[in-house]
Amino acid sequence: MTERPEFRELVGDDLSPGERARLERVHELLVTAGPPPELPPGLAEPPGESPGDSLIGLPRRRAGAMLALAAAIALVAFLGGYVAGRNGQGEGFSAIKTLQMHGKGAAEAASATIEIGGPDTSGNLPLRVVVHGLPPLQAGSYYEMFLTKHGKPIAACGIFTVGGRNATVPMTLPGTARGYDGWIVTREAPGGDTHPVVLTT
């Protein structure tokens, strides 16, 4: 938590009593209000051509995407019980569901496809994440993928780096995963206290 600034240090000693009291009241209001939040990249610019339509359209689109994701997770969880009882699931990776991710912030041009495979004999779901256009990382940094609920990261799925801005990353999702509504990828640095989202469903 940020330390409360010292009013006297901010304004000095040469104010009239009236002005001093007035500014000190503002000082107290600033301390009480706290900092205004930074707008997320998706809200940094005003909406497009038809604000009433596009602004309402986005939550609907997001809600639709969430439903699709929830349906996908429910589907693979259901298939988990079915397929796990069978002997093996064939050679190689075969996606039973595919989801798209789009870039955010400094990685706005990036994209990714999450391919969800059928459950293995332990009930885990193989994922293959095909990433395009993610910026190269500094030494020691990495990307991390999370399952989210209402935009908050809930469960880590795995970490990866990219070579030549593209990568195909194998991951695993427990077949018991329930209640999630999205995925994000963040950029992480050792000891870093920021976790910018670079990809989101």
Partner 1 sequence: MRAVVAEETTDGELILRTRDGDRDAFEALYRRYARSVFGLALRRLGDRGRAEDAVQETFASVWRGARSYRPERGPGGPWIYAVARNAIVDRSRARSEPPVEAPEQQSQEAGPPARAEASWTAWRIHRALEELSPSERTVIELAYWSGLSQSEVSEYLGIPLGTVKTRTRAALARLADLLEEELR
Q: In sequence order, what are the beta bridge partners of 111? A: 102, 132
Residues 124/105, Cβ–Cβ less than 8 Å? no
For the segment 41-100, give every residue that binds partner 1 (CB under 8 A): 42-43, 46-47, 51-52, 55-56, 58-59, 62
Taking the least distance from each CB to partner 1, the nearer of 32 and 194 is 32
Q: 16, 32, 87, 138: which one contacts partner 1 (CB under 8 A)?
A: 32
State in angstroms the smallest separation of the CB of 72 from partner 1: 18
Q: Which two tokens stand for residue 201?
A: 């469903």
State in angstroms the smallest separation of the CB of 94 from partner 1: 32
**How many Cα atoms are found within 13 Å in the side-chain-facing hemisphere of 99?**
26
Residues 182/66, Cβ–Cβ less than 8 Å? yes
Beta-carbon count within 10 A of 47 CB: 14
Judged by the rule CB under 8 A, the positions of this chain that interact with partner 1 are 2-3, 5, 9-12, 15, 19, 22-23, 25-27, 29-40, 42-43, 46-47, 51-52, 55-56, 58-59, 62, 150-152
